[in-house]
Amino acid sequence: MLTPSQMLAASDLLYRTWMASGRLERLPDASRPTSRAEGYAIQALIERRSEHPVFGWKIAATSIAGQRHIGVSGPLAGRLLRERVIEQGVPVSLRGNLMKVAEVEFAFTMGADLAPRPTPYTQDEVLAAVASLHPAIEAPDSRYVDFVHAGEAQIIADNACAHMFVLGAAAAAPWRHLDLAAYEVPAKLVRAGRTIALTGRGANVLGDPRIGLTWLANELSRLGVTLARGQVVTTGTCLTPIEVAPGDEVTADYGVLGSIGVRFVA
């Protein structure tokens, strides 16, 4: 079991590497987590680095294919830092980004706290605490040279590959009656004047974005963390991550739920 000082050393190394756009082979033996619990304990220390309350949460590895790709046993939660949230219309830099992908997602803003409790929250309880639904695009990244083989404890410690995040406007149309699992999201990648059409579906997010949101609420509850009013949860990509390069633009049309677009720069 890692000591508090060893966890702090791991957190500090990961944060310094992130800010320097650097890369680690792996965390040092003396501070490397070996369980999800240790990974989350290290991740939580990143909050002391921010001048703002946690903006929200992300879910990584929300598909079986994604979980197999990085060798994890299930979804992973990460913190969204306010200083890494980019306003719509502002270009997103790929400087130092190893992954260089865009992920089109469903995000929810919470309207009420969901505090830790002994029994799991039901999906109905979680949805009753939601204030709004949003289009979103995440540009994740890892601080490991070989994140595919880093293992889930180290990936969790590395904030579940959180990096840059763009939140779209809240859906103006009623959405609670919609079948989000079957909901299709046409997207396109524009590169050097050429357009590539893509289509995402809500079912690609743990079967339904609402299932992902409920998983996140219960994962935080197990960790003794409140999913707080005003926080945003982005539930994971609804289509295969889109490889991007400087100059590319990714847009997604959520129909009655709105749209979102991001331009990437060097």
Q: Are 132 and 109 in contact (CB under 8 A)?
A: yes
State pLDDT tens for residues 45-87.
999 999 999 999 999 999 888 899 899 999 999 999 999 999 9
- Residue labelled with tokens 């995402």: 200
Average pLDDT over residues 1-21: 97
Instruction: For the chain, report the end-to-end CA distance as a whole number of angstroms.
Output: 41
Distance CA(72)–CA(68), nearest Å, equals: 6
Q: Three-class SS of residue 218?
A: helix
Rounded mean pLDDT of the chain? 97
What is the band of 31 on the pLDDT scale with cuts at 50, 70, 90?
A: very high
pLDDT at res. 188 = 98
Answer whether residue 192 shows pLDDT above 90.
yes
pLDDT at res. 64 = 85
What is the band of 259 on the pLDDT scale with cuts at 50, 70, 90?
A: very high
Answer whether residue 242 shows pLDDT above 90.
yes
Helix (H) or strand (E) holding 152: helix 152-157
What domains sit in the chain, N to C, each tagged with a CATH number? 52-265 (3.90.850.10)
For residue 99, give the nearest of 63, 135, 60 by alpha carbon. 60
Q: Which two tokens stand for residue 210?
A: 């609402």
Q: In the chain, what percentage of residues exceed pLDDT 70?
A: 100
Q: In the chain, what percentage of residues exceed pLDDT 90?
A: 97
pLDDT at res. 65 = 85
Conformation bin of residue 120: beta by default, left when phi > 0, alpha when psi is -120 to 50: beta
How far, in Å, are 8, 82, 85, 247 from residue 52 at the CA level? 20, 6, 12, 31
State pLDDT tens for residues 120-166.
999 999 999 999 999 999 999 999 999 999 999 999 999 999 999 99
41 CB neighbour count, 10 Å cutoff: 20
Helix (H) or strand (E) holding 127: helix 123-128
Distance CA(65)–CA(75), nearest Å, equals: 11
pLDDT at res. 167 = 98
